[in-house]
Structure 1
Amino acid sequence: MQRIGSVDERFQSFNVEMVEVTGGRFWAPYRKPSGAAAESAAAAPSVPGLDPTAFRMRQPIDLSNPRLRKLAAALGPAYVRVSGTWANSTYFHDADTPAPATPPTGFGGILTRGQWRGVVDFARASDARIITSFAVSDGVRDSHGVWTPDQARKFAAFTKAAGGRIAAAELFNEPNFAAIGGAPKGYDAAAYGRDFAAFKAFAKESLPEMIILGPGSVGEGALAATGFSGLSTKDILQATGRGVDGFSYHFYGGVSKRCGAMKGAPQTSPEAALTPEWLALTDREAAYYTKLRDQFEPGKPLWLTETGETACGGNPWAAGFLDTFRYLNQLGSLAKRGVQVVAHNTLAASDYALIDEETLTPRPSYWGALAWRKLMGTTVLEAGTSSSPDVHLYSHCLRGQPGGVAVLAINADRATAFELLTPLPSSRYELKADDLTGSAVQLNGRELKLGADDSLPAITGQPTAAGKIRLAPASITFLAFPNAGNASCR
């Protein structure tokens, strides 16, 4: 297995949406939280053009919760991205006085010092570096409609004063969907070009060590033929010229049931969730944005700063073991492509989250993430290909073991077992579930769950002799070869 590349030490990362931090209307879980009262639809939708019943009002997330911090820290080091559509119009109340009852004119939400201090403290406690974005709504514009950095300067200064650091940022979330993202009416690629020039000047002055990411577009590539109607990222890049430190994009293979009424938007089903066609969508989108990167920002690292099962909060089965196949296959595939960071949406909000937002119970994809973090190092190896389109193979250097190799073997076939021939003894970590759409997952036959004191279970492998290894139907298997002696891993 030869070395084919490497990824950032914080490759596996996650999002905490800005609207979680401030409180507000976010994607409503399909399962109504216990004790929750019926909520009337808002007078106006939270996102123009979408049914307001797709959202639920929520209080600000408690980022000081010990269990949440423990679960996040177990995935560290990581990046925590605090952004999202709602961040595009969030006002930063830079004072210790009570925030106004309603946002100032030109804004849609309010972020307080205390809330942002909570983000800084959470990042420090969980060994996460902060990625964010800035407001671009009417409230931050001059008389000519150009973006001004007044709010951004206050935000950056307070972050530093609170003991934090903004490691990386996009100007704003998904500029190619500016029309539904809080940007002024009629916003176009030329306007983005002017704003980005002002943003770069601000960053050079106030945040010289910050990684400038961009453009952070979504929904073109593989999905363009299904009804994409936003701004062209190519036009955006032509208007801005070079200037990013990392080329970022977002990816969802479709929209969830909540947004099923969106004209032309693709959807999926639990029956399709393990198919080669569904799992390959992440590669198609990566190829699209890689081509744009090569044309406009050659040599800049690729960052996938937002991704999940489907947009609009995920489908009901996103919370089950079924989506762990997409999650881990995406990590393996994008690492081979050279993507440096993959930030999952979200850590603990709505159905596509790694952690249940009500109970803070880890979901199956969280356990998959924990196994990845334990075993898969930053050096990417060539694992070869399987004779079956349903078996996906990936390999990295084994984390923390010089010369060691880790292999990830995903059998997405629901009925057929396959055999893998291994030349050396290994430790085997097999993830399976009796119910693919359920929340329970077993590691080597033992259900993974938190202890009485919220302690994480031991992620231990089963000693396995060299030779044939059976890959059970609908299973995910990690193999650790500590004594591989791989020269690329020393």
Structure 2
Amino acid sequence: MRGTRTKCMSLALAIAAISTATAGHANPARPEMAIDPARLSRTGSIDPRFQSYNIEMLEVIGGAFWKPYDSKVATSGQKDAGHAGIDPAMYQYRPPIDLRNRRLRILAKALGPAYVRVSGTWANSIYFADSDTPPAQPPAGFKGVLTRDQWRGVIRFAQAVNARIVTSFAISPGVRDAQGVWTDDQARRWIAYSRAAGGTIAAAEFMNEPSMAGMGGAPKGYDAIPYGRDFRLFKQFVSRVAPDMVLLGPGSATETPAPWGMPPSIVGSIATAAMMEASGPGIDAFSYHHYGAASQRCASARLPQTSAADALSEQWLARTGITHDFYASLRDRYAPGKPIWMTEGADAACGGNPWSGSFLDSFRYLDQLGRLARTGVQVAIHNTLAASDYALLNPTDFAPKANYWAALLWHRLMGATVLDTGIPLVEGAHVYAHCQSGRTGGVSLMVINNSATAATSITLPRRSLRYTLTAPDDGSTGVALNGTLLSLGPRDRLPPMVGAAQAAGPVIVLPRTISFLAVPDARNPACR
């Protein structure tokens, strides 16, 4: 697809046809909406690195990761591959990611500034080999080895793409003393080497997903009491060795009391409330993870499922807010006033569903960004940049998927100041507003029409530039912008992504499309 520009259905003709057919009542089920971008009030702001991404620790060191759905390669065969309790047949060996790859760096840099989180379940059992001769096999109590060269590669990648590193530390039996208490030797060596290599760990969680400690490599019988003890030791360590590092926590997942949450009866589960009671205060920001379901890979483990047929439903899109509200209530109880980060999320855990790389998932991805920004979440880290089905980039050649183009458009248009549209979220009209990125006084609207049949009309008193995303005609994992399939040019040059001029007045947003409307001359006082 590289360098190809394929014309899809003429968006202009389609808009004209619907405008004529629905004049005065673009959606009979809902009144037309009018927005004056100049009058939208400020509701808050997000971190300039709000939209970020994850590179799994397993990607850095190589190992058994989620097996592609269409793969004919043999499975890993490792009994301890990935999460405990998941069928090893769901995993396949992948070599370490090439963080020096030119295309990867070009595309990642275009999303900067960002955070790059290098963590995941595998980070819980990682051994940092602080020597010139790393061991061929991980020492007892560990499952993987991170070499100096590999970690230096992460540092150089982050520097090249304007990203700051977020991570978590090992908590497996290998970092514990004879009484099973966490020790800081590995963490201290890792931080010291990072500095020596010219890097910085900007933020870190103590461990990855402690709410699933039993599935994540913690010692047998690990519960809230030893977690609280270990977290306090970790906090003391951070205050001595890395006082400028943002201490995130707890980084929990799967607890939402809804059909997609994991039951508390799962062996090794720890409730966040119990952890926070045991650990006491000390975090700089409250962190949590969100997946609306588990992918088909984990169906045999009886983890909650979803389907492509539900991908545009209000119930599916609303799960982002339900999970946020659950964890925000815990933040308010145990860490009042602290910022909140979503440090990992995608369409589904266990590597994503088969449709997670298509435009169908872009509705969830962009709606999630809009919802989280509106509720005050400071950082949203997508899992992953370039591994498995939920990746922004194809894992084999780093070609952009639909969500990469959606991410790039958000990055270019939606600034850090969040505005109030005054419009409730209803099917066919999820409307979000931010100050326009890089344009003083400008405003950008994002309008998500997840309806299968009804168009939406929004009246603007000023001219705007329209960027409409639609599914490609060829069934690929790409996306069309204003009717033209987005693709890389020669030498991986990004396309211009130019908006179409839109006169003042009604703007028709077709079913199953996403439109950004940039109003550069809005002169909104909140955007100066």
TM-score w.r.t. structure 2 length? Answer: 0.90
Q: How does 1:235-384 map to 2 (within 5 A)?
A: 235-263=274-302, 265-384=303-422
> Which runs of no fewer than 5 residues in structure 2 stay unpaired?
1-39
The one of 125, 148, 151 aligned to 1:116: 151
Q: How does 1:390-405 map to 2 (within 5 A)?
A: 390-405=428-443
Q: Does the Cα contact within 8 Å between 1:322 and 1:437 map onto a contact in 2?
A: no
Q: Find out whether 1:417 has 2:455 as its counterpart.
A: yes
Q: Find out whether 1:198 has 2:258 as its counterpart.
A: no
2:61 maps to which residue? 22
How much does 1:44 deviate? Answer: 4.6
Q: Give 3-state SS (helix, strand or coil) of 2:300's partner.
A: coil
One-letter code aligned to 2:350 = C
How much does 1:437 deviate? Answer: 6.3
Q: Does the Cα contact within 8 Å between 2:254 and 2:261 map onto a contact in 1?
A: no
One-letter code aligned to 1:38 = A
2:35 maps to which residue? none
1:137 maps to which residue? 172
1:89 maps to which residue? 125
* Deviation digits for residues 18-54 of structure 1 (CA, Å, limit 9, x no counterpart): 000000101111132xxx7434633454322111111
Q: Does the Cα contact within 8 Å between 1:320 and 1:436 map onto a contact in 2?
A: no
Q: Give 3-state SS (helix, strand or coil) of 2:301's partner.
A: coil
2:88 maps to which residue? 52
1:207 maps to which residue? 242
Hey, what's the Cα distance between the residues in 2 that align with 1:470 and 1:47? 46
Hey, what's the Cα distance between the residues in 1 that align with 2:260 and 2:87? 24
How much does 1:333 deviate? Answer: 0.4
Hey, what's the Cα distance between the residues in 2 that align with 1:302 and 1:208? 19
Q: Give 3-state SS (helix, strand or coil) of 2:289's partner.
A: strand
1:69 maps to which residue? 105
Hey, what's the Cα distance between the residues in 1 that align with 2:381 and 2:223? 27
Hey, what's the Cα distance between the residues in 2 that align with 1:224 and 1:106? 35
Question: Alpha carbons of 1:170 and 1:224: their partners in 2 closer, same or farther (altered >3 Å)?
Answer: farther
How much does 1:343 deviate? Answer: 0.2
One-letter code aligned to 2:480 = Q
1:6 maps to which residue? 45
Q: How does 1:24-43 map to 2 (within 5 A)?
A: 24-32=63-71, 37-39=73-75, 41-43=77-79
Question: Alpha carbons of 1:196 and 1:390: their partners in 2 closer, same or farther (altered >3 Å)?
Answer: same
How much does 1:254 deviate? Answer: 0.5
One-letter code aligned to 1:104 = P
Q: Give 3-state SS (helix, strand or coil) of 1:122's partner.
A: helix
Q: Does the Cα contact within 8 Å between 1:131 and 1:167 map onto a contact in 2?
A: yes
TM-score w.r.t. structure 1 length? Answer: 0.97
Question: Alpha carbons of 1:289 and 1:435: their partners in 2 closer, same or farther (altered >3 Å)?
Answer: farther
How much does 1:220 deviate? Answer: 1.0
Hey, what's the Cα distance between the residues in 1 that align with 2:236 and 2:259? 33
Q: Find out whether 1:152 has 2:187 as its counterpart.
A: yes
How much does 1:452 deviate? Answer: 2.0
Hey, what's the Cα distance between the residues in 2 that align with 1:210 and 1:103? 27
Q: Which has the larger Rg?
A: 2
How much does 1:407 deviate? Answer: 0.2
Q: Give 3-state SS (helix, strand or coil) of 1:326's partner.
A: helix
Count of residue pairs the alignment pairs up:
485
* Deviation digits for residues 249-286 of structure 1 (CA, Å, limit 9, x no counterpart): 000000000001223x2211111000000000000000
Hey, what's the Cα distance between the residues in 2 that align with 1:79 and 1:437? 32
* Deviation digits for residues 265-322 of structure 1 (CA, Å, limit 9, x no counterpart): 2211111000000000000000000000000000000000000010000000001000
Hey, what's the Cα distance between the residues in 1 that align with 2:374 and 2:232? 33
How much does 1:387 deviate? Answer: 7.8
Hey, what's the Cα distance between the residues in 1 that align with 2:411 and 2:510? 23
2:27 maps to which residue? none
Hey, what's the Cα distance between the residues in 1 that align with 2:209 and 2:79? 25
How much does 1:436 deviate? Answer: 9.8
Q: Does the Cα contact within 8 Å between 1:322 and 1:436 map onto a contact in 2?
A: no
Question: Alpha carbons of 1:384 and 1:460: their partners in 2 closer, same or farther (altered >3 Å)?
Answer: same
One-letter code aligned to 1:471 = V
* Deviation digits for residues 423-474 of structure 1 (CA, Å, limit 9, x no counterpart): 1100000000145963121111111000121001112111110111110111
How much does 1:198 deviate? Answer: 0.8
> Which runs of no fewer than 5 residues in structure 1 stay unpaired?
none
Q: Does the Cα contact within 8 Å between 1:276 and 1:389 map onto a contact in 2?
A: yes
2:163 maps to which residue? 128
Q: Does the Cα contact within 8 Å between 1:384 and 1:393 map onto a contact in 2?
A: no
* Deviation digits for residues 184-219 of structure 1 (CA, Å, limit 9, x no counterpart): 000000111011111011111111100000000001
Hey, what's the Cα distance between the residues in 1 that align with 2:525 and 2:354? 44
Hey, what's the Cα distance between the residues in 2 that align with 1:45 and 1:121? 28
Greater CA drift, 77-86 or 428-437: 428-437
One-letter code aligned to 2:333 = Q
One-letter code aligned to 2:49 = R
Hey, what's the Cα distance between the residues in 1 that align with 2:250 and 2:259? 17
The one of 446, 465, 478 aligned to 2:484: 446
Q: Give 3-state SS (helix, strand or coil) of 1:317's partner.
A: coil
Greater CA drift, 99-108 or 437-446: 437-446
Q: Give 3-state SS (helix, strand or coil) of 1:179's partner.
A: helix
Hey, what's the Cα distance between the residues in 2 that align with 1:227 and 1:251? 12
Q: Find out whether 1:431 has 2:466 as its counterpart.
A: no
One-letter code aligned to 2:283 = V
Question: Alpha carbons of 1:480 and 1:242: their partners in 2 closer, same or farther (altered >3 Å)?
Answer: same
Q: Does the Cα contact within 8 Å between 1:314 and 1:352 map onto a contact in 2?
A: yes
Hey, what's the Cα distance between the residues in 1 that align with 2:396 and 2:427? 37
Question: Alpha carbons of 1:382 and 1:465: their partners in 2 closer, same or farther (altered >3 Å)?
Answer: same
Hey, what's the Cα distance between the residues in 1 that align with 2:165 and 2:79? 34
